[in-house]
Protein backbone atom coordinates (compact mmCIF):
# COMPACT_ATOMS: atom_id res chain seq x y z
CA UNK A 1 0.00 0.00 0.00
CA UNK A 2 1.22 3.49 -0.85
CA UNK A 3 0.30 6.61 1.10
CA UNK A 4 0.28 10.00 -0.68
CA UNK A 5 -0.21 12.39 2.25
CA UNK A 6 1.47 12.26 5.65
CA UNK A 7 -1.29 13.47 8.02
CA UNK A 8 0.79 13.89 11.19
CA UNK A 9 3.91 16.09 11.38
CA UNK A 10 5.40 18.58 13.86
CA UNK A 11 7.59 21.60 13.14
CA UNK A 12 9.73 23.70 15.51
CA UNK A 13 6.49 25.39 16.59
CA UNK A 14 5.75 22.30 18.71
CA UNK A 15 8.66 23.21 21.01
CA UNK A 16 10.21 19.73 21.01
CA UNK A 17 10.51 19.21 17.24
CA UNK A 18 13.44 20.29 15.15
CA UNK A 19 12.59 21.38 11.60
CA UNK A 20 11.02 24.43 10.02
CA UNK A 21 7.96 24.22 7.78
CA UNK A 22 10.19 24.58 4.69
CA UNK A 23 12.46 21.77 5.89
CA UNK A 24 9.41 19.57 6.54
CA UNK A 25 8.19 20.27 2.98
CA UNK A 26 11.58 19.29 1.56
CA UNK A 27 11.52 16.17 3.73
CA UNK A 28 8.09 15.28 2.36
CA UNK A 29 9.30 15.65 -1.21
CA UNK A 30 12.43 13.58 -0.55
CA UNK A 31 10.22 10.83 0.89
CA UNK A 32 8.14 10.85 -2.30
CA UNK A 33 5.03 12.22 -0.60
CA UNK A 34 2.51 14.30 -2.54
CA UNK A 35 1.76 16.37 0.54
CA UNK A 36 1.71 16.58 4.31
CA UNK A 37 -0.40 18.05 7.07
CA UNK A 38 1.32 20.30 9.56
CA UNK A 39 -0.22 19.21 12.87
CA UNK A 40 1.68 21.04 15.56
CA UNK A 41 0.64 20.36 19.14
CA UNK A 42 -2.11 22.48 20.62
CA UNK A 43 -1.14 25.26 23.06
CA UNK A 44 -1.69 23.25 26.26
CA UNK A 45 1.15 20.84 25.52
CA UNK A 46 3.67 22.92 23.65
CA UNK A 47 3.05 26.51 24.62
CA UNK A 48 2.38 27.20 20.92
CA UNK A 49 0.65 30.56 20.65
CA UNK A 50 -3.00 30.17 19.57
CA UNK A 51 -2.26 32.65 16.77
CA UNK A 52 0.13 30.08 15.27
CA UNK A 53 -3.04 28.27 14.20
CA UNK A 54 -5.11 31.39 13.50
CA UNK A 55 -2.46 32.78 11.14
CA UNK A 56 -1.76 29.71 8.99
CA UNK A 57 -3.36 31.32 5.96
CA UNK A 58 -0.03 33.13 5.40
CA UNK A 59 1.53 29.79 4.43
CA UNK A 60 1.22 28.78 0.76
CA UNK A 61 -0.77 25.72 -0.28
CA UNK A 62 2.25 24.32 -2.11
CA UNK A 63 5.85 24.40 -0.99
CA UNK A 64 8.89 22.73 -2.56
CA UNK A 65 6.70 20.66 -4.86
CA UNK A 66 4.31 19.24 -2.26
CA UNK A 67 0.89 20.22 -0.98
CA UNK A 68 0.82 21.70 2.52
CA UNK A 69 -2.36 21.23 4.56
CA UNK A 70 -2.90 23.28 7.70
CA UNK A 71 -3.83 21.34 10.79
CA UNK A 72 -3.40 20.73 14.48
CA UNK A 73 -2.95 17.87 16.91
CA UNK A 74 -5.21 19.38 19.58
CA UNK A 75 -5.16 18.13 23.16
CA UNK A 76 -8.17 16.47 24.71
CA UNK A 77 -8.25 18.10 28.13
CA UNK A 78 -10.98 16.23 30.03
CA UNK A 79 -13.49 13.38 29.85
CA UNK A 80 -15.98 15.80 28.24
CA UNK A 81 -13.64 16.10 25.25
CA UNK A 82 -12.73 19.80 25.71
CA UNK A 83 -9.95 20.89 23.37
CA UNK A 84 -7.16 23.42 23.89
CA UNK A 85 -7.93 25.76 20.99
CA UNK A 86 -10.98 27.98 20.47
CA UNK A 87 -13.61 26.61 18.05
CA UNK A 88 -13.33 29.59 15.70
CA UNK A 89 -9.60 28.91 15.27
CA UNK A 90 -10.15 25.16 14.81
CA UNK A 91 -12.82 25.85 12.18
CA UNK A 92 -10.29 27.60 9.92
CA UNK A 93 -7.95 24.61 9.68
CA UNK A 94 -7.96 21.97 6.93
CA UNK A 95 -7.57 19.03 9.32
CA UNK A 96 -8.19 18.78 13.05
CA UNK A 97 -6.83 15.79 14.89
CA UNK A 98 -7.27 15.41 18.66
CA UNK A 99 -5.35 13.18 21.02
CA UNK A 100 -4.62 12.24 24.60
CA UNK A 101 -1.25 13.32 26.00
CA UNK A 102 0.06 12.82 29.52
CA UNK A 103 0.82 16.52 30.09
CA UNK A 104 -2.81 17.50 29.46
CA UNK A 105 -4.79 14.44 30.52
CA UNK A 106 -2.99 12.57 33.28
CA UNK A 107 -3.17 8.78 33.24
CA UNK A 108 -6.75 7.73 34.03
CA UNK A 109 -8.78 4.58 33.76
CA UNK A 110 -10.02 2.95 30.55
CA UNK A 111 -13.55 4.26 31.09
CA UNK A 112 -12.53 7.92 31.31
CA UNK A 113 -10.03 7.62 28.45
CA UNK A 114 -12.76 6.12 26.26
CA UNK A 115 -15.30 8.79 27.25
CA UNK A 116 -12.79 11.54 26.45
CA UNK A 117 -11.95 10.13 23.02
CA UNK A 118 -15.60 9.55 22.11
CA UNK A 119 -16.55 13.06 23.24
CA UNK A 120 -13.77 14.51 21.06
CA UNK A 121 -14.96 12.44 18.08
CA UNK A 122 -18.48 13.84 18.57
CA UNK A 123 -17.14 17.39 18.29
CA UNK A 124 -18.10 18.44 14.73
CA UNK A 125 -14.74 20.25 14.36
CA UNK A 126 -12.67 17.10 14.96
CA UNK A 127 -11.78 15.00 11.90
CA UNK A 128 -9.67 12.25 13.49
CA UNK A 129 -8.13 11.04 16.75
CA UNK A 130 -4.37 10.55 17.03
CA UNK A 131 -2.66 7.37 18.25
CA UNK A 132 -5.69 5.70 19.92
CA UNK A 133 -3.50 2.60 20.34
CA UNK A 134 -1.22 4.33 22.86
CA UNK A 135 -0.84 1.83 25.75
CA UNK A 136 -0.58 4.76 28.23
CA UNK A 137 -4.26 5.46 27.55
CA UNK A 138 -6.13 2.17 27.19
CA UNK A 139 -9.54 2.61 25.51
CA UNK A 140 -12.49 0.45 24.49
CA UNK A 141 -11.52 0.14 20.83
CA UNK A 142 -14.96 -1.00 19.61
CA UNK A 143 -16.67 1.96 21.31
CA UNK A 144 -14.16 4.45 19.87
CA UNK A 145 -14.60 3.02 16.38
CA UNK A 146 -18.39 3.17 16.67
CA UNK A 147 -18.14 6.90 17.51
CA UNK A 148 -15.76 7.49 14.59
CA UNK A 149 -18.03 5.61 12.22
CA UNK A 150 -21.09 7.56 13.34
CA UNK A 151 -19.52 10.82 12.21
CA UNK A 152 -17.58 9.49 9.19
CA UNK A 153 -14.35 10.31 11.02
CA UNK A 154 -11.00 8.59 11.04
CA UNK A 155 -8.78 6.97 13.64
CA UNK A 156 -5.04 7.10 13.22
CA UNK A 157 -2.56 4.29 12.81
CA UNK A 158 0.55 6.17 13.90
CA UNK A 159 3.81 4.86 12.48
CA UNK A 160 5.91 6.74 15.04
CA UNK A 161 4.17 4.84 17.85
CA UNK A 162 6.18 1.73 17.03
CA UNK A 163 9.35 3.68 17.87
CA UNK A 164 8.26 6.01 20.69
CA UNK A 165 5.14 4.57 22.33
CA UNK A 166 6.55 1.17 23.04
CA UNK A 167 3.99 -1.56 23.43
CA UNK A 168 1.62 0.01 20.87
CA UNK A 169 1.73 -2.90 18.40
CA UNK A 170 -0.96 -5.12 19.92
CA UNK A 171 -3.43 -2.24 20.37
CA UNK A 172 -2.77 -0.78 16.91
CA UNK A 173 -3.13 -4.17 15.33
CA UNK A 174 -6.48 -4.61 17.09
CA UNK A 175 -7.60 -1.18 15.84
CA UNK A 176 -6.54 -2.00 12.27
CA UNK A 177 -8.35 -5.37 12.28
CA UNK A 178 -11.50 -3.82 13.79
CA UNK A 179 -11.43 -0.99 11.22
CA UNK A 180 -11.25 -3.54 8.40
CA UNK A 181 -14.23 -5.38 9.87
CA UNK A 182 -16.38 -2.34 10.68
CA UNK A 183 -15.42 -0.18 7.68
CA UNK A 184 -14.02 2.60 9.88
CA UNK A 185 -11.84 5.18 8.18
CA UNK A 186 -8.14 5.40 8.93
CA UNK A 187 -5.44 8.04 8.59
CA UNK A 188 -1.86 6.89 8.54
CA UNK A 189 0.68 9.40 9.91
CA UNK A 190 4.39 9.44 10.71
CA UNK A 191 4.25 11.79 13.75
CA UNK A 192 7.54 13.18 12.44
CA UNK A 193 9.30 15.60 14.78
CA UNK A 194 12.17 16.00 12.29
CA UNK A 195 12.19 16.57 8.52
CA UNK A 196 13.97 13.25 7.87
CA UNK A 197 11.00 11.38 9.35
CA UNK A 198 8.24 12.91 7.20
CA UNK A 199 6.65 10.10 5.21
CA UNK A 200 8.26 7.40 7.37
CA UNK A 201 5.21 5.15 7.33
CA UNK A 202 6.52 1.68 6.62
CA UNK A 203 5.67 0.21 10.05
CA UNK A 204 2.06 1.42 9.90
CA UNK A 205 1.66 0.31 6.28
CA UNK A 206 2.92 -3.17 7.17
CA UNK A 207 0.35 -3.33 9.96
CA UNK A 208 -2.49 -2.20 7.67
CA UNK A 209 -1.50 -4.82 5.11
CA UNK A 210 -1.29 -7.56 7.75
CA UNK A 211 -4.78 -6.60 8.96
CA UNK A 212 -6.03 -6.68 5.34
CA UNK A 213 -7.36 -3.13 5.57
CA UNK A 214 -8.84 -2.18 2.19
CA UNK A 215 -7.09 0.84 0.66
CA UNK A 216 -10.40 2.72 0.34
CA UNK A 217 -10.59 2.99 4.13
CA UNK A 218 -7.24 4.80 4.32
CA UNK A 219 -8.36 8.33 3.50
CA UNK A 220 -4.86 9.71 2.96
CA UNK A 221 -3.79 6.92 0.59
CA UNK A 222 -4.29 9.23 -2.41
CA UNK A 223 -4.53 13.00 -2.83
CA UNK A 224 -7.98 12.54 -4.28
CA UNK A 225 -9.36 10.48 -1.40
CA UNK A 226 -7.88 12.87 1.15
CA UNK A 227 -9.33 15.92 -0.61
CA UNK A 228 -12.72 14.18 -0.78
CA UNK A 229 -12.52 13.43 2.93
CA UNK A 230 -11.69 17.08 3.73
CA UNK A 231 -14.52 18.34 1.53
CA UNK A 232 -16.97 16.02 3.22
CA UNK A 233 -15.75 17.02 6.67
CA UNK A 234 -15.95 20.72 5.82
CA UNK A 235 -19.58 20.30 4.77
CA UNK A 236 -20.33 18.41 8.01
CA UNK A 237 -18.65 21.14 10.08
CA UNK A 238 -20.68 23.79 8.25
CA UNK A 239 -23.92 21.93 8.83
CA UNK A 240 -23.11 21.61 12.53
CA UNK A 241 -22.22 25.32 12.66
CA UNK A 242 -25.58 26.28 11.24
CA UNK A 243 -27.28 24.02 13.76
CA UNK A 244 -25.90 23.78 17.24
CA UNK A 245 -22.60 25.64 17.58
Closest CB 159 distance from Zn ion, rounded Å: 11
* CB contact at 8 A, 5 and 182: no
Task: From 44-52, 56-64, 99-107, 231-239, give the range in contact with Zn ion by CB under 5 A.
Answer: 99-107
Contact residue for Zn ion among 43, 99, 132, 199 (CB under 5 A): 99
Q: Say how far apart CA 43 and CA 243 lie, in whole Å.
A: 28
DSSP letter (8 states) at residue 42: P
Lay out the site mask for Zn ion across 125-154 (x = CB under 5 A, - = otherwise). Answer: -----x------------------------
Q: Could you say whether residue 191 binds Zn ion (CB under 5 A)?
A: yes
Q: Which is nearer to Zn ion, 37 or 141 (CB)?
A: 37
- Rounded to the nearest 10 degrees, the angle between the axes of helix 169-182 and helix 202-210 is 50
Q: Could you say whether residue 84 binds Zn ion (CB under 5 A)?
A: no
Closest CB 36 distance from Zn ion, rounded Å: 13
Q: Which is nearer to Zn ion, 131 or 185 (CB)?
A: 131
List phi, psi (to 5°) of 39: -125, 65
Q: Say how far apart CA 207 and CA 180 lie, in whole Å.
A: 12
Q: Which is nearer to Zn ion, 164 or 206 (CB)?
A: 164
Identify the sign of the CA torsion 20, 23, 45, 244: positive
* CB contact at 8 A, 63 and 93: no
Q: Which is nearer to Zn ion, 71 or 124 (CB)?
A: 71
List phi, psi (to 5°) of 34: -90, -20
Q: Which is nearer to Zn ion, 45 or 147 (CB)?
A: 45
* CB contact at 8 A, 75 and 45: yes
Q: Which is nearer to Zn ion, 40 or 176 (CB)?
A: 40
Using CB under 5 A as the binding rule, the residues of this chain from 207 to 226 that contact Zn ion are: none
Closest CB 134 distance from Zn ion, rounded Å: 8
Closest CB 212 distance from Zn ion, rounded Å: 27
- Rounded to the nearest 10 degrees, the angle between the axes of helix 169-182 and helix 141-150 is 40
Q: Say how far apart CA 188 and CA 219 lie, in whole Å.
A: 8
- By CB under 5 A, the count of residues binding Zn ion is 4
| Strand ranges in 56-94 using DSSP code E only, listed in sequence order | 62-63, 66-75
Per-residue b/e over 80-91, b at no fewer than 16 CB within 10 Å? Answer: ebbbbbeeebbb
Q: Which is nearer to Zn ion, 42 or 124 (CB)?
A: 42
Closest CB 45 distance from Zn ion, rounded Å: 8
Using CB under 5 A as the binding rule, the residues of this chain from 60 to 79 that contact Zn ion are: 73
Closest CB 224 distance from Zn ion, rounded Å: 25
Closest CB 132 distance from Zn ion, rounded Å: 11
By CB under 5 A, name the binding residues for Zn ion.
Answer: 73, 99, 130, 191
Amino acid sequence: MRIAIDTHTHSVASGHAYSTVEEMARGARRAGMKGFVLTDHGPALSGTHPYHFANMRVLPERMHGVRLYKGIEANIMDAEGSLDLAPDFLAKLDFVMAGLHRECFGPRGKEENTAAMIAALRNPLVDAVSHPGNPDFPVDAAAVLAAANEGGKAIEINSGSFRVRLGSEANCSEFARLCARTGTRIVCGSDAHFSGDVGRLSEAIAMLEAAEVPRELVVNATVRSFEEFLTERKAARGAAGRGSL
